[in-house]
Structure 1
Amino acid sequence: MSAGQWGRDLAMGARFAFAGGREGWIRALLTAVGVGLGVALLLLTTAIPNALAERDRREEARSDHTFSQQEIPKADNTLIVLDTDTTFRDRDVRGRMVEPEGPRAPLPPGLAEFPAKGEMAVSPALKELLASDDGKLLRERLPYRITGTIGEQGLIGSQELAYFTGGQGLADRLGSASGARIDRFGNSDLAPSDPWDPVLLLLVLVVFVVLLMPVAVFIAAAVRFGGERRDRRLAALRLVGSDSRMTRRIAAGEALAGSVLGLVLGTGFFLLGRQLAASFEVSRVSVFPSYLNPSPLLAALVALAVPTAAVLVTLLALRGVVIEPLGVVRTARPTRRRLWWRLVLPLGGLALLFPMVGQGGDEGTFNQYLVVGGVMLLLVGVTALLPWVVETVVARLGSGGVAWQLAVRRLQLSSGAAARMVNGIAVAVAGAIALQMLFAGVEGTYTAASRYDVSRAQMQVHVPDDLELASTAQKFRDTKGVRKVTAMGETYLTDGRSDTDAIIQVTVGDCATLREVATLPSCRDGDVFAVHGGEYDTDTAGLAQPGKKLWFDGVNDGRPGERFSWTVPRDIRPAESREDPTGTKRGGILVTPGSPFTTLARFAEKELYLSLSPGEPDAYEYVRNTAAAIDPMADPMVWHAVERNDRYATIRTGLSVGAACVLALIGASLLVSQLEQLRERRKLLSALVAFGIRRRTLGLSVLWQTAIPIGLGLLLAAAVGTALGAVLLRMVNTSVRVDWPSVLSMTGIGAGVVLVVTLLSLPPLLKMMRPDGLRTE
């Protein structure tokens, strides 16, 4: 067979794809839309590495800290930058207070000029928030006049909240606040990154495979839209003289044309979505359109892989169809599908993954190719097994109402088409169940309960050295939403013996505060206690002796020149330590403000522990506003009951973003597939209505035609997903435990997507049931 004959046959198939009037165009458009949705998501996936790299590059370009930061002298090219970060309703706000020290001071990326004192330049998202009613509390915290906007080069995302404000005399705050004197932006002195944990690498690999497999499955199903009409056209070609090979080449040309049009539409969808991406933030991640530039190599791979897959899928599908001049033999009772080869795929996937069982411990590694190959084979196994499951089950379904019989008979005649429609959702659910099991299994490794007692306090505020503890605490007690304030100071005393100084902790607070850290026999202002039973009280017994002289050395606390002695009072009393709100059992000496040693309170590190009212939803914001009014550099710490590994949290965030995109694709693809199925049966539906069958009955039959294969697909997905999850858990040396809430939730989400799609397809279904649908040209 010459290449020219191949080309002529493919070209004829391409012409058939767009011929046939409105029917032909609708058929080609549905195929192209289906393929285009998948192509758009594939292009988005190929753009993700570049987007992440660009976010990191911009973060590094605006960096104003280094890990081995050295003091640099004031010069005409230096700039003082202090951190004024804050949080507003769980959204991070990046803030910087800047003061140029000369005409050549480096200008922050994204700014045209330095803001003066009392002025600020803000990101577009922050400007919009401050102008809205929701930003009222944040406006109180940022009482600066907006004079400029931060450009794209100074932001890592379109929805990032950030601002620069001007300051004066900031050199005096260096050392006491987070910040530095710099002569350039951009961090060339980054600490070397830690090697990736093999379990986290496994999570990344599985996430990518699970998110991309439904896309590939749907593209394969989309190129077979209109398969029954296409086969009838091919039978007509056989009648006018084409042989079976030529017929298949023409069918391949038709699929090729639809996939190429899908590539064009997919590129358009991607470019449209690229522009809309700047308007959204998913799991606190936003991007600029310029970030989403697919890798040329990966984009070329998508452009080649999609048409090739379309041709191969079409040729493979036609192997089971005998197209003769007088019709398509498939309309007769089809031969039963064989099971053995369908089991080869999932079993092959298990065989690839089995050698890596138990390798996820310390220093363990996983073969990336075996992981990807094994997971892919297991998920592809869902698409191979589902047609057999649907055919086997519907063949045994009994009698019922008219709607049930219509649905079952239709499924018995075309179980393959029904299975193809739900393959994508089944693969997505299977992968999601496996991932949820894996995340649940390893969560204990990367998350841990914090030591903070969130029942006693929910926020912690550091009080600057130049502020008095009691008056500052009172300002927070007067803050709306604050129920209780525990104020304490902490410092250390030594016995003054040069290099072998023994150190003892000293905590300063009123009686109510000291009862938070120790069990006191009784307490009144002026009492002093020696606390025993603390975590680090090895020197308490020897140093907290009545009459013992102890020394405060300011060098240890960053106050050179401050050194004085204190004699332990004769009436010091013992007390037993208890866990303080931070979860630490303190030792050492407890001192009340009325004791003779009041000088110590001036040099203590002062902290406030705040208990908030659960009935005030904005209590955190009121506290942050009070803290900002006291010190613009203050950033109150919010306590959490659980602490998470940053990389683990990032992977979960990436999964959330990807899952949202895939669910949107699945919903759209199912709707397109449903519309294509209804269009194929338009005349049949109209004929049934003309014979007197009620529209309600037909609507129920269509619902059953969707519900039965979806139910079977979700059951199969649950079984395969659970098996894959169990294997992945054994690979990371974790006991197998089925996360039933995740299994049920993922299955429920899949069913919910199908329900929404079914409801959206009802209006076109009712329109197709009109008797004028029998009209033909």
Structure 2
Amino acid sequence: MNLRQWGRDLALGFRFAFAGGREGWVRAGLTAVGVGFGVALLLLSTALPNALSARHDREQARQDYRYDLTVPPKADDTLVISHVDTIFRDKDVRGRLVEPEGPRAPLPPGVDRYPGAGEMVVSPALKKLLAADGSALLRERLPYRIVGGIGESGLIGSQELAYFAGASGLAAHMDMWRTVRLTGFGDPTPTREQPDPILVLLNIVVIVALLMPVAVFIAAAVRFGGDRRDRRLAALRLVGSDSRMTRRIAAGEALAGALLGLVLGTAFFLVGRQVAGSVEVMGVSVWPSYLDPSPALATLVAVAVPTAAVLVTLLALRGVVIEPLGVVRAAKPARRRLWWRLLLPVAGLAMLYPMIGQGRDNGDFNKYLVVGGVLLLLVGITALLPWLVETAVGRLGAGGVAWQLAVRRLQLSSGTAARMVNGIAVAVAAAIALQMLFAGVDDQYTEETGQDLRRAQMQVSLPDGTPMAPTVQKFTHTKGVRKVTALSEGYLGDVSWDTENGPNLSAELVVGDCAALREVAKLPSCADGDVFVLEGGEYSADGPAMNRPGRKLYLESYNRLDGGEVTWTVPAGVGTARSIVDPAGTRRDGFLMTPGAMPSSIAKTVSGQLYVSVDESVPDVSEHVRNTAAAVDPLSVPDNWTATRTSVRYDSLRTGLLVGALCVLMLIGASLLVSQLEQLRERRKLLSALVAFGTRRRTLTMSVLWQTAIPIGLGLLLASAVGITLGAVLLRMSDTPVVVDWPTVLAMACAGAAVVLAVTLLSLPPLLRLMRPDGLRTE
């Protein structure tokens, strides 16, 4: 058979797809919509690498940290910048105070001129938020006049909240951390961080798990309208085509739907690309320009989808006998064989087995074995499910009329029922495996902060030299604040910190009233003017060794504009105190000092730490505390305490999984609804006939529900078994103990069932319209 004959037959099938009048167009349209949803998600997937790269490049281009200890001198091309990030109702706000020191000061990306003192330029999303009702607390915190905007090149996402505000006197606060002097933006010497093998493994499995259900749905979508197609094929045999030609014509029809699906999918993607620029999902937003698919990957999608449509159709018709008087799938269908279906998951396990116990310390996982093993296990579900549904429904017996109608329908077309469930089963299995893996390695990327949330819920870091007494008063009178523990902190050395090797001995200096000092140490007695040396500290034991009356100690200071170095002479009569766990979860070392014993020179050098206890029943209590902190000093850093802290990369990956899972669930729901409507449309005359013979509509509705519930129940059971198996193997590969989180497994299964239930409920109105006797009318 030459390629010309293939081309003629495929072209004939292509014509038949659109030459059947309204019926043909509806059939092709349903196929195209189903394929289109899948193509849109595939195109989105091909665009994700570019989106992630673009976000990373934008973040790198606007970096404003110092990467060395050398501070450039003030010049006409330098800028002093302070980080003043904040949070407003769980939304991160990126803030910077800027003070250009000359006309050639570098401009950050997206900003065409610097704002003056009391002015700011803002991102479009922040401008909208500030103008919204209910943002009065944020407007109070940012009392600057808006004089411009930040362009796209300066923002990593369309919904990012960011601003640059003009300031003066920032050089007095330079500390190599939050306030620095720059000659340019961006990291001049970027270094590539060594990838974590476990995170790489998670990345690979997430990508495969999210794309596999899409591929399954596309394969199912090209087979919409199977019954009606079979009758058309029988007519072709009647007019003289042979069986091979008939199959090629059928493949041509599928090809037509797939190509139309490519067009619709591209349209869906372009619309979604624009919509993506105005939405934020789980804190992540992008610019439409980020979502440009890789040309090579987009070409692969354009070639793979039509090719898959042809191959799937030819494969599906291999066991079908098409004769001039009808299509025979066999009066007594041959039972599906199990042995070869088991080979797929077994082969998948065999590919993953060599990496068992590899963990983080034995190099990277073999990407090809990981992808191949996970794919074969998930594809195994699509092979095993038809056998499972056929075997199970073949053993179902007597029941009510609705039950018997449903069971008989499933016995006659178990393959169609399994195809509808395949995608949801694959998605649930992948979700269970991933949740097991995330839950298993969560402890490796989550650490206890040690912060005692019973003693404080927020911490406010104040710049050096902030007067403590009036500051404490302001926080004490803030709405919702119960208690404020104020401590000033610095570091002492036995020699100048400017020496080449630094001090030989060093210790912390903590200043506070007696009540505050009792939060960090067990004091024998305390009165204003006392000084104590701590024993039992967590990090250093140098304090007692430095406690020599008359000894001169040097305070560490990052920024000494006056050129003087602050010293302190150890007095006689220093008491001894025992260190205890402070509210932040550490045992301090060094010296404790009450305000009466603190020289005025030290007061200008130490930085304040406030531990704030709040009444969390007060609405927006955290916002009130942040506003007070901003009023005290814009450079203060309020921070909400949490019991645990999660790795940023791990948390980002988990967020990406949730966003991707949401997109896949939307695809699942849409594709299932299209498939369900197609099934109902094909059975319109049968439903009308049953109603005409007196069958109650409630009975028919229940039969449709049973036809959905039985396959989905079997599919979820199979998905749970495969998902738990895959999850256990992945945990062993990461050298993590295998623990099955049964509530999570149940939650994933319920999520899949909920999608199917929602689709079934949405299909009830069309079902009721189809159950009318006039559906038997024909011409």
TM range (shorter): over 0.9
> Corresponding residue for 1:299?
298
* Cα deviation digits, residues 619-653 of structure 1 (max 9, x gap): 21111111111222223123221122222112111
Q: Retained in 1: the 8 A contact 2:492–2:556?
A: no
Distance 2:474 2:226 in 1: 74
| Displacement after TM superposition at 1:555 (Å) | 5.6
Distance 2:523 2:178 in 1: 37
> Corresponding residue for 1:427?
426
Which deviates further from its counterpart, 264-273 or 612-621?
612-621
Distance 2:127 2:568 in 1: 54
Distance 1:566 1:72 in 2: 33
Q: Retained in 2: the 8 A contact 1:130–1:139?
A: yes
| Displacement after TM superposition at 1:67 (Å) | 1.6
Q: Retained in 2: the 8 A contact 1:473–1:487?
A: yes
| Displacement after TM superposition at 1:66 (Å) | 4.2
SS at match of 2:39: helix
| Displacement after TM superposition at 1:601 (Å) | 4.3
> Corresponding residue for 1:437?
436
* Cα deviation digits, residues 435-468 of structure 1 (max 9, x gap): 0111111111111111222222222212222321
The 5 A counterparts of 1:31-180 are 31-68=31-68, 70-175=70-175, 178-180=178-180
TM-score (norm 1): 0.96
| Displacement after TM superposition at 1:179 (Å) | 3.2
SS at match of 1:608: strand
> Corresponding residue for 1:13?
13
Distance 1:7 1:398 in 2: 48
The 5 A counterparts of 1:16-415 are 16-68=16-68, 70-175=70-175, 178-190=178-190, 192-330=191-329, 332-415=331-414
> Corresponding residue for 2:726?
724
| Displacement after TM superposition at 1:518 (Å) | 1.4
Q: Retained in 1: the 8 A contact 2:490–2:556?
A: no
Cα gap change, 1:355 to 1:709, in 2 (>3 Å): same
Q: Retained in 2: the 8 A contact 1:223–1:310?
A: yes
SS at match of 2:329: helix
Distance 1:150 1:491 in 2: 38
> Corresponding residue for 1:524?
527
> Corresponding residue for 1:695?
697
Q: Which amino acid aligns with 1:125?
A: A
| Displacement after TM superposition at 1:75 (Å) | 3.3
Distance 1:79 1:110 in 2: 16
Which deviates further from its counterpart, 413-422 or 766-775?
766-775
Q: Which amino acid aligns with 1:46?
A: T
Q: Retained in 2: the 8 A contact 1:137–1:625?
A: yes
Q: Which amino acid aligns with 1:60?
A: Q
Of 538, 541, 549, the match for 1:535: 538
Distance 1:166 1:565 in 2: 37
SS at match of 1:549: coil
Cα gap change, 1:247 to 1:218, in 2 (>3 Å): same
Distance 2:664 2:682 in 1: 27
| Displacement after TM superposition at 1:69 (Å) | 6.3
Q: Retained in 1: the 8 A contact 2:67–2:187?
A: no
Q: Retained in 2: the 8 A contact 1:494–1:551?
A: no
Q: Retained in 2: the 8 A contact 1:177–1:633?
A: no
* Cα deviation digits, residues 165-207 of structure 1 (max 9, x gap): 22234333333872333333333322x2321111111100000
| Displacement after TM superposition at 1:346 (Å) | 0.4
Cα gap change, 1:54 to 1:596, in 2 (>3 Å): closer
Which deviates further from its counterpart, 584-593 or 369-378?
584-593
Cα gap change, 1:676 to 1:121, in 2 (>3 Å): same
Distance 1:645 1:188 in 2: 25
* Cα deviation digits, residues 303-346 of structure 1 (max 9, x gap): 00000000110001001211111111126231111101110100
Q: Retained in 2: the 8 A contact 1:463–1:472?
A: no
Of 509, 513, 517, the match for 2:512: 509
Distance 2:636 2:626 in 1: 8
> Corresponding residue for 2:564?
561
Cα gap change, 1:252 to 1:639, in 2 (>3 Å): same
Q: Retained in 2: the 8 A contact 1:555–1:561?
A: no
Cα gap change, 1:78 to 1:590, in 2 (>3 Å): closer
SS at match of 2:362: coil
Which deviates further from its counterpart, 366-375 or 394-403?
394-403
Q: Retained in 2: the 8 A contact 1:475–1:626?
A: yes
Distance 1:465 1:732 in 2: 46
Distance 2:14 2:704 in 1: 32
Cα gap change, 1:69 to 1:153, in 2 (>3 Å): farther
Distance 1:268 1:186 in 2: 37
Cα gap change, 1:474 to 1:193, in 2 (>3 Å): farther
Q: Which amino acid aligns with 2:171?
A: A
Q: Retained in 2: the 8 A contact 1:66–1:189?
A: no
Q: Root-mean-square deviation (CA), in Å?
A: 2.0
| Displacement after TM superposition at 1:493 (Å) | 4.2
| Displacement after TM superposition at 1:376 (Å) | 0.2
Which deviates further from its counterpart, 490-499 or 410-419?
490-499
Whether 1:768 and 2:770 are equivalent positions in the alignment is yes
* Cα deviation digits, residues 68-93 of structure 1 (max 9, x gap): 36433333333333222211122111
| Displacement after TM superposition at 1:596 (Å) | 7.5
Which deviates further from its counterpart, 232-241 or 143-152?
143-152
TM-score (norm 2): 0.96
| Displacement after TM superposition at 1:357 (Å) | 0.6
Q: Retained in 2: the 8 A contact 1:157–1:288?
A: yes
Which deviates further from its counterpart, 166-175 or 371-380?
166-175
| Displacement after TM superposition at 1:484 (Å) | 1.4
SS at match of 1:776: coil
SS at match of 1:486: strand
Distance 2:489 2:224 in 1: 73
Which deviates further from its counterpart, 688-697 or 615-624?
615-624
Cα gap change, 1:492 to 1:313, in 2 (>3 Å): closer
Distance 1:563 1:227 in 2: 86
* Cα deviation digits, residues 452-508 of structure 1 (max 9, x gap): 222222222122223211221221111112221111122344556998754443322
Q: Which amino acid aligns with 2:187?
A: N
SS at match of 1:44: helix
**Number of residue pairs matched?**
773
| Displacement after TM superposition at 1:597 (Å) | 6.1
Q: Retained in 1: the 8 A contact 2:79–2:99?
A: yes
SS at match of 2:637: coil
Q: Retained in 1: the 8 A contact 2:406–2:707?
A: yes
Q: Retained in 2: the 8 A contact 1:333–1:413?
A: no
Cα gap change, 1:272 to 1:591, in 2 (>3 Å): same
Q: Which amino acid aligns with 2:588?
A: R
> Corresponding residue for 1:686?
688
Q: Which amino acid aligns with 1:411?
A: L
SS at match of 1:636: strand
> Corresponding residue for 1:474?
473
> Corresponding residue for 2:739?
737
Q: Retained in 2: the 8 A contact 1:394–1:411?
A: yes
* Cα deviation digits, residues 589-628 of structure 1 (max 9, x gap): 3222234867644543321111221212412111111111
Distance 1:691 1:440 in 2: 55
Cα gap change, 1:742 to 1:540, in 2 (>3 Å): same
Distance 1:703 1:469 in 2: 69
| Displacement after TM superposition at 1:352 (Å) | 0.5
Distance 1:13 1:566 in 2: 96
SS at match of 1:587: coil
Cα gap change, 1:567 to 1:158, in 2 (>3 Å): closer
Distance 1:308 1:500 in 2: 71
Q: Which amino acid aligns with 1:152?
A: E
Distance 1:585 1:100 in 2: 41
> Corresponding residue for 2:445?
446
Q: Which amino acid aligns with 2:12?
A: M
